[in-house]
Amino acid sequence: MARKRLPRAVFDFYDGGAEDERSLRANRAAFGQHALAPRVLNDVSQVVLASTILGQPASMPLAVAPTGAAGFGWHQADSAIARAAMQAGVPYALSTAANTSIAEIAAIVPQARKWFQAYILRNRAFTENMIRRALDAGYEALMITVDLPVGGKRERDSRNDFSIPFRYTARNVLDFALHPCWSLPMLMRGIPKVPNLVGLNSTAQDTRTVASSVGRNFDPSFNWDDLRHMRDIWPHKLIVKGIMRASDAERAATLGCDAIVVSNHGGRQLDAGYATLDALAPIARALGRDLEIMVDGGVRRGADIVMALALGASAVLIGRPTLYGACAGGEAGALRALDILRDELSRTMQLCGLTSVDQISADILALD
Ligand SMILES: Cc1cc2nc3c(=O)[nH]c(=O)nc-3n(C[C@H](O)[C@H](O)[C@H](O)COP(=O)(O)O)c2cc1C
């Protein structure tokens, strides 16, 4: 439905990955390399999906990943997705590059579990000020994304002449005109802003910057010492997102980080990388209980969640499913995406003879 409603250039911006999209495809394909070995004749009339993520309850082992620029697909998509996550009882991560501010989201879903995802920008004073705003607004966790020292090379955007702010080529204008359900509200309400970055030079003005317009502000010098500093200034839970190797996960644990997300940014950064599901198992083996391990990338089915947990994750994150849901139907659409996954998770567990999330282990992936 999102594909139908959005101009192609906008849909491709959400849907696409870097370069040849090998990492993007690998994420999905990795789930196909595993299979479930069901146990039968267990009483599965009651299934408990409730879990603990970062020490707090969640209605299922899933959180909503940060997705920047969501407001280009649906008016105020960030708040729509945040509300849906709250209703579904799962944590929501707000992106630095969101189209709704840190404070606005906090006001819209005051009771919800909220994480703030920070990109580390060249302007460190600005970055720290942004993190301070998240602290003041009561965000439960800070998520620092580390797989983006530079912006990925997303060729669909170049081919589509897609950038934020928009580039009005003849083809784009035609594409927009052919999708009035998208373009009329956009015309009426104006182009979304990136409020968390207001005051940071160059973001708004540069009309030639490719879609990841915050990309030029990322700080490629950000390193482990800087991460230690972030640990020092953030008093609550700290999540490092974008780890793919056990040695890096160990280093994050040593620095006192609380959790990692095994992630390749949904295949939008490094192409030709490993699938995240394949990176998960060695990290889980090496880290044991030293820190909480989540994973994202290509989770599209309830069975995928079971597999990720069986391979050592405590929870999964989803990016595009709720984004597509919101682009198709705002809050109701995002909630529908979450409901579909919840239903499938429950059904898959029942079909496997599992009645609670903590029963999911590597055992379910092996025939005996
Ligand atoms: C359109 C889009 C925007 C994204 N923006 C961000 C972002 O601002 N910060 C971030 O850490 N990750 C971002 N991501 C990556 C997601 O947080 C997540 O890692 C990824 O989408 C998971 O893969 P999935 O989409 O296959 O579920 C973005 C992903 C997409 C598709």
192-231 per-position pLDDT tens digit: 999 999 999 754 444 344 345 566 788 999 999 999 999 9
Look at residue 173 in the predicted model and tell me its pLDDT: 93
SS3 annotation, the chain: CHHHHCCHHHHHHHHCCCCCCHHHHHHHHHHCCCCCCCCCCCCCCCCECCEEECCEEECCCEEECCCCCHHHCCCCHHHHHHHHHHHHCCCEEEECCCCCCHHHHHHHCCCCCEEEEECCECCHHHHHHHHHHHHHCCCCEEEEECCCCCCCCCHHHHHCCCECCCCCCHHHHHHHHCCHHHHHHHHHHCCCCCHHHCCCCCCCCCCCCECCCCHHHECCCCCHHHHHHHHHHCCCEEEEEEECCHHHHHHHHHCCCCEEEECCHHHCCCCCCCCHHHHHHHHHHHHCCCCEEEEECCCCCHHHHHHHHHCCCCEEEECHHHHHHHHHHHHHHHHHHHHHHHHHHHHHHHHHCCCEHHHCCHHHHCCC
The CA 68 to ligand 1 mean position distance, Å, reads: 7
Q: What is the pLDDT of residue 77?
A: 98
One of 34, 229, 236, 265 is an active-site residue; which one?
265
Q: Which of 335, 314, 338 is nearest to 56 (CA)?
A: 314
Active site residue 265: yes
**pTM, to two decimals:** 0.96
Q: How far is CA 288 from CA 312, 314, 327, in A?
A: 9, 11, 38
Q: What per-residue confidence (pLDDT) applies to 364?
A: 98
> Which is nearest to 144 in space by CA: 115, 186, 111?
115
pLDDT of 246: 98
Token pair 């849907």 is found at 15
| Ligand 1 center from residue 189 Cα (angstroms) | 25
At 247 the pLDDT is 98
How far, in Å, from the CA of 51 to the mean position of ligand 1? 23
Interval between CA 263 and ligand 1 midpoint (Å): 9
Can you list the residues of the chain whose pLDDT is less than 50? 203-211
Q: Cβ < 6 Å from ligand 1: which residues?
A: 14, 27, 65-68, 95, 97, 117, 145, 241, 263, 265-266, 268, 296-299, 318-320
Closest protein CA for atom 10 of ligand 1: 66
Q: What pLDDT shows up at residue 202?
A: 56
- Name which residue sits closest to atom 19 of ligand 1, judged by CA: 265
Tell which residue, 95, 98, 79, 76, has the closest CA to residue 87.
Answer: 79
Selection from 175, 130, 182, 138 nearest residue 6 by Cα: 182
pLDDT for res 208: 40
Whether residue 61 contacts residue 314, with contact meaning beta carbons closer than 8 Å, is answered with yes
The pLDDT value given to residue 213: 54
Of all protein residues, the one whose alpha carbon is nearest to atom 28 of ligand 1 is 67
Query: Is residue 139 a contact partner of residue 170, using CB atoms and an 8 Å limit?
Result: no
